């Protein structure tokens, strides 16, 4: 029993240490398409209101703030694996891993005392049918200024209920198409290191589990 307790405590220490040292954060999101503007049929009718968008975005929580304002944070990434990758209607909307220009903007008690959170990708891969994608972005806003307490990059996913207004997750190509969706869930994907720690714990627990002795 003592041995098992020691193993469990060690595993939680490893997991906690891994989380404290974590730099790369991946947020999984799911959204529902609300509006599709595609008069030129660039999306070939494959995306319609009600469709589900799934995917992730990845950033480094240790990135330096490039915005000098005390009420705003600007965090930019120019290399893989940072960026966003989303799928809907058979199309993939993804940051170009060879030409990354991906950023997260944070406003805490800004000019109107509101809070804001923006994720945006400027350099993106074309769709499978060759159509370019100018912007992929997601914006949240809280006019009450209660959603955030600082301009630092969070190590957790945005708590959707903390935000009063959802400006939507959008894909667009200027003068070609525009798709707006509303995010319905956001969560941090567990780190591989944490998963390995708990996996190792399971193996150790099994190895140290008392075995029933055979009766003669």
Residue 52 and residue 121 in one domain: yes
What lies within 8 Å, CB to CB, of 148 at 6+ separation is 106, 107, 108, 115, 117, 142
- The overall average pLDDT reported for the chain is 82
Question: Are 171 and 211 part of one and the same domain?
Answer: no
Q: Are residues 10 and 91 in the same domain?
A: no
Can you give the pTM of this predicted structure? Answer: 0.76
18 and 67, same domain (yes or no): no
CB 147 within 8 A of CB 107: no
Residue 160 or residue 214, greater confidence: 160
Q: List Cα–Cα distances, 145 to 113, 150, 157, 177, in angstroms.
A: 6, 11, 18, 33
* Whether 15 and 61 share a structural domain: no
Identify the pLDDT of residue 79.
95
Residue 201 pLDDT > 70: no
Please write the tens of the pLDDT for every residue from 62-96.
999 999 999 999 999 999 999 999 999 999 999 99
Number of domains into which the chain is organized: 2
- Regarding whether 103 and 18 lie in a shared domain, the answer is no
Query: What pLDDT, on the 0 to 100 scale, is given for residue 142?
Result: 92
* 175 and 200 both lie in a single domain: no
The reply to whether 182 and 212 lie within a common domain is no
Residues 5, 38 within the same domain: no
Helix-strand-coil percent breakdown of the chain, rounded to 5? 20, 40, 45
Same domain membership, residue 56 and residue 4:
no
Range of the domain at 56: 23-190
- 42-51, 114-123, 195-204: the lowest-pLDDT one: 195-204
Q: Residue 191 above 50 pLDDT?
A: yes
Residue 49 has pLDDT above 70, yes or no: yes
| 81 in the same domain as 37 | yes
Shared domain check, 85 and 12:
no
Give the whole-angstrom CA distance, residue 106 versus residue 158: 11
CA distance 189 to 37: 32
């Amino acid at each position: 029993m003592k041995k098992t307790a020691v193993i469990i405590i060690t595993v939680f220490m490893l997991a906690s240490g891994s989380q404290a040292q974590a730099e790369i954060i991946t947020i999984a999101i799911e959204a529902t398409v609300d509006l599709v503007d595609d008069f030129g049929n660039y999306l070939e009718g494959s995306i319609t209101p009600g469709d589900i968008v799934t995917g992730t975005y990845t950033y480094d929580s240790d990135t330096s703030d490039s915005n000098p304002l005390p009420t705003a944070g600007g965090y930019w990434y120019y290399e893989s694996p940072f960026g966003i990758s989303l799928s809907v209607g058979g199309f993939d909307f993804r940051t170009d891993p060879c030409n990354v220009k991906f950023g997260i903007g944070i406003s805490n008690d800004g000019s109107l005392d509101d809070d804001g959170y923006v994720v945006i990708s400027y350099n993106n891969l074309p769709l499978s049918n060759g159509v370019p994608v100018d912007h992929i972005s997601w914006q949240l806003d809280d006019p009450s200024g209660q959603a955030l307490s600082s301009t630092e990059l969070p190590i957790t996913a945005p708590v959707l209920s903390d935000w009063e207004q959802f400006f939507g997750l959008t894909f667009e190509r200027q003068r070609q198409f525009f798709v707006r969706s509303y995010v319905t869930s956001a969560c941090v994907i567990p780190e591989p290191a944490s998963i390995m720690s708990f996996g190792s714990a399971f193996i150790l627990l099994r190895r140290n589990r008392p075995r029933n002795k055979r009766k003669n």
